[in-house]
Structure 1
Amino acid sequence: MREAALAGRVPPRPPRTVIGESWSRVLSLGVNPDSGRPNSPISAEELEYRRQASALGELLPVLREGLVRIADAAWHIMVVTDAEGRVLWRDGSTAVRRSADRLGFAEGASWAEDVVGTNAIGTALVTRAPLQVHSAEHFVRTHHGWTCAAAPLHDPRDGRLLGVVDVSGPAATLHPATLSLVSAVVRVAEGELRSRHWAAVERLRSIAAPLLSRFDGQALAVDRNGWTAAATGMAPPPGRVALPASVRAGQAWLPSLGMCWLEPLPGGWLVRIAGRERAPAASRVLLDVSRPRSWAVTVSGAAGSWAQQLSPRHAELLFVLAVHRSGRTAAELADDLFGDPSRTVTVRAEVSRLRRNLAGVLAHRPYRFADGVDVQIVRPRHPWELLPHSVAPAVLAARGFG
């Protein structure tokens, strides 16, 4: 299959869809199928900086307890990368680590698709889904002696991709349960982050509640990710406020709340609402889907501008609405996103979450961007780079595969 793909021929049997799409991306990127691209590790100082800055460091005990002993016994190694695919930590079989060193699979190296081709880590970063890649499914020939199972790890506080957890070893040691094990341990690690998050919200609530009791107007205390810890004058208060990408003290316009004043609190922000009447309607929306692993929306108006990173699903949804300015019914959106017009409950829930953050920007009946809002899309240079994680029929059609 791989040889046919490299030669531009139709393979005798098609590879798995996720592998075939990855091979196409990697071929377009010009990765050398024999050796990949030069893969210089980052410096020891940069590696240590990334380790200290990553939330994954505090999860290492959970990951090691769940994977390292099993990986070591099965002649595998556990690898943890950041969201760019840089290897931050390795553990497990000493012999396999030596083999990995010869391959360049070492701390500080990049294991992204555009450097080493199709592999469980780099391809999972693109697809945002767990994946096992075995032997010649790897694009680069020197990786054919390996089998790898990887799962992306997300921050439950904001959905941000933190990195990938991977178990790799000799191809002869392939076990079909490895991917399930890695995925389960990642879910446990995400649960640990979630528990720590709610404990921090509770601490913020104990600080903010006495402060809010002295206010007559509308105000709330939120953590650094916008989750509400306490509120006054709002019934019911929002569960979460979408904060701008760069938060600073002072006056700010939030599409969901209007004009606000933000003041720092230990572990979060005090948000005092000035009143919606002081927040003119948004006039421009810029949807940036040009990057393979990060997407953002910027809302601008007379009151200022606001920007936020998007989850994969919300990036898909806003892209469809930006393309179909006349609007889409819930059934049409369900067909666009899932190929199933009956999944209207899921669509309504996702749009409701978006509208809480983008009040005045998104309208309904049908779902659409509000009249008078100038909507612009920043697309990637090549159509096949558009939201590469997505299998939504509308996105596949926009890439030219629909």
Structure 2
Amino acid sequence: MSQEHLEAALPVGADPRRYARVLARVHEAALSGSAMPAAPRPVIGASWQRMRRLGLDPDRGGQVDPLGPAELEQRRRRSGLTEAWGILRVNLTSVAEEAAHIVVLVDADGRVLWRDGSTAVRRRADGLGFTEGVSWHEDAVGTNAIGTALVARRPVQVYSAEHYVRSHHGWTCAAAPVHDPRDGRLLGVVDLSGPAATVHASTLALVDAVTRLAEAQLRQAHLIDLERLRAIAVPALARVTGSAVITDPHGWVAAATGLAPADRIALPADCGPGPAWLPGYGGCVLEPVPGGWLIRQAEGADPDGAPTRVVLDLRSPRNCSFTVTGAGGTWTRTLTPRHAEMLYVLARDRGGRSAAELALDLFGDPARTVTVRAEMSRLRRHFGGLLEPRPYRFAENIDVRLLYPADPAEVLPHSTAPAIRSPRE
């Protein structure tokens, strides 16, 4: 994780108490509309703006009913985070207890699934309503590390009066998002929270490192599942005539015959049995097999297909999607935040962008071309003949449409890319 994404709330060498007093004055000035004695950090300022647009009460927050025990247990089972919680408890609970913190794991909606750590701090959290089953999203409790990390899609530390709701000013928290290694989907957020006096600049790096460890455990579990599928796939493909491939439900390839090898195939979001158009493969027929899909390439299929229109849908900040329509039908896929950013930039500039220009658009640094080329290579593997290189652009025969949220400030709100942040602000 690059240093730009690990900005601690407390500046190096700053006195926590004195800095908390400065933050309190900044917070009150921001709420009253008067001149602020200092500017909040960009991630905090952007969150405060969202809270003001939402009309959130800075004294009471929002009202979201907690989950009942049965619904909480159901959420835990569906979350995909059970294995991650085991890793987090082993690696963070003892640290949390010694540092007077609690470790918290929430799902992608901000619902608290599990808590552990200091008994005294858990009792204090109970008084704040910070318990299992509650929502800790920004919409419910304002700016906080958990809710803001869910929106910003990056590690966030929040200290004292950086919290939007005044009753949270006695706390410090550091949180990092957890992603599903199979499809990049946001699963939830790992958080360490404690009294404001326990703030430490290294807490954010610790949370981020343990979160990456949890993701590695999820990745290992996926590789084991893929090996199990491979044991089924190889004999199944031996009985198939023509080109075919067997994938898991997320498109990861277990085995193939008659097709160029690939790690993963981009499957449609509403994947089901029957004919489908797949980027790079053209017309195909999908058949369910235990643990995944058997995909047969239709006879005479054109891998570059004939898509005529693509729609980049940015209306949902959490689930941006990309829909392709052509002679073979319609195909939709949910995008990762980075791919949504890149496709948005290319949709806005049909003339195309060089690797250096895209690096400047995304990172503010034209030298980061290696990262851009790697991501564009992944995009072009997913979306076949829709994207052209040198410069990177949508193919000329494609009708590209953008669907925007009603509020322009909600266009990719997680993004810190200069090409998106500047016009949004």
Q: TM-score band, normalised by the shorter chain? A: over 0.9
Determine the structure 2 residue equivalent to 1:139: 164
Whichever residue aligns with residue 70 of structure 1, its letter is V
Whichever residue aligns with residue 351 of structure 2, its letter is S
Query: Which of the numbers 364, 367, 370 marks the counterpart of 1:339?
Result: 364
Determine the structure 2 residue equivalent to 1:150: 175
2:385 counterpart SS class: coil
- Cα gap change, 1:373/1:80 in structure 2, threshold over 3 Å: closer, same or farther? same
- Cα gap change, 1:346/1:74 in structure 2, threshold over 3 Å: closer, same or farther? closer
Task: Check the 8 A contact 1:253/1:303 in 2, yes or no.
Answer: yes
Asked if 1:368 corresponds to 2:393, the answer is yes
Determine the structure 1 residue equivalent to 2:272: 248
Distance 1:290 1:10 in 2: 33
Asked if 1:76 corresponds to 2:97, the answer is no
Task: Check the 8 A contact 2:173/2:191 in 1, yes or no.
Answer: yes
Alignment of 1:38-187 (within 5 A): 38-187=63-212
Can you give the 5+ residue segments of structure 2 that lack an aligned partner in the other structure?
A: 1-25
| TM-score normalised by length of structure 1 | 0.95
Determine the structure 2 residue equivalent to 1:261: 285
Task: Check the 8 A contact 1:152/1:165 in 2, yes or no.
Answer: yes
Query: Which of the numbers 413, 417, 420 marks the counterpart of 1:392?
Result: 417
Identity %: 60
1:118 counterpart SS class: coil
- Cα gap change, 1:140/1:15 in structure 2, threshold over 3 Å: closer, same or farther? same
Distance 2:304 2:169 in 1: 58
* Residues 293-313 of structure 1, C-alpha deviations (whole Å, 9 max, x = no match): 221111111211111110111
Whichever residue aligns with residue 126 of structure 1, its letter is V
Alignment of 1:203-282 (within 5 A): 203-235=228-260, 237-274=261-298, 275-277=300-302, 280-282=305-307
Alignment of 1:321-336 (within 5 A): 321-336=346-361
2:302 counterpart SS class: helix
Whichever residue aligns with residue 262 of structure 2, its letter is P
1:78 counterpart SS class: strand
2:288 counterpart SS class: strand
2:277 counterpart SS class: strand
Task: Check the 8 A contact 1:337/1:394 in 2, yes or no.
Answer: yes
Distance 2:124 2:290 in 1: 47
1:102 counterpart SS class: helix
1:277 counterpart SS class: coil
Task: Check the 8 A contact 1:216/1:233 in 2, yes or no.
Answer: no
Task: Check the 8 A contact 1:222/1:230 in 2, yes or no.
Answer: yes
1:360 counterpart SS class: helix
Distance 1:340 1:184 in 2: 25
Determine the structure 2 residue equivalent to 1:379: 404
Can you give the 5+ residue segments of structure 1 that lack an aligned partner in the other structure?
A: none
Whichever residue aligns with residue 55 of structure 1, its letter is G
Distance 1:343 1:64 in 2: 36
Distance 1:135 1:335 in 2: 34
* Residues 306-363 of structure 1, C-alpha deviations (whole Å, 9 max, x = no match): 1111011100000011111222222222221112223222222211211111112222
| TM-score normalised by length of structure 2 | 0.90
Asked if 1:316 corresponds to 2:341, the answer is yes
* Residues 100-121 of structure 1, C-alpha deviations (whole Å, 9 max, x = no match): 1221111111111122111000
Asked if 1:306 corresponds to 2:331, the answer is yes
Distance 2:169 2:235 in 1: 62
